[in-house]
Amino acid sequence: MAEQNNENTQTKIEEVIREKLTGDAQKNAMDFVAFLRANELTLTANSDGQGWAVGGTVGNSIGYMWITGTEQFPGPWTFWFNSCDFGGNSADDELKKITWAHASPCGHCHPGWKDCGGGNRTMFGREFENLCHSPLMFANPDAETVENMNKLMLMLT
């Protein structure tokens, strides 16, 4: 899935990362985007140019990447998995631990949201109640966490 042709009218994600992020946050975000491109996952910008749907379109994707350069939402960059059907997949203990640690209860990703319709889910054999419709949230992940995000992404593609 090559990146969509409308990229000329949108700000490329790498430009926004270079502009808004610094240090490890910038390196880790760039590494994640390089992984996505190497695996031919689409990156479709939303209308404000701070968010990108990954592996689909805005509203219908595997995940969503948001870059603010601030600590507001929740920042400075965040990736949410919109799909988390890991029930039939096997994982090592490290991947399970990182996945479970990033389970996102409804309302966690945005103050004031109480119920977005996510519901209960099972991830790698562990049950979670009242998760967000994007049940995994990785806010400003470190390099090790990005590597595990890559593993999760490969399980969904």
- Read off the pLDDT of each residue in 30-43 and give the average, rounded to a whole number: 95
Decide: helix, strand or coil at residue 50.
coil
Task: Kindly write down the DSSP assignment for every residue of 57-90, as one continuous string.
Answer: BTTBSSEEEEE-SSSSSS-SEEEEES----TT--
pLDDT of residue 40: 94
Tokens linked to 74: 């929740």
**25's tokens:** 């946050």
Element (H or E) spanning 153, and its range?
A: helix 143-156
- β-partners of residue 79 are 65, 138
pTM: 0.81
**For position 5, what pLDDT does the model report?**
39
Q: pLDDT at position 32, please?
A: 97
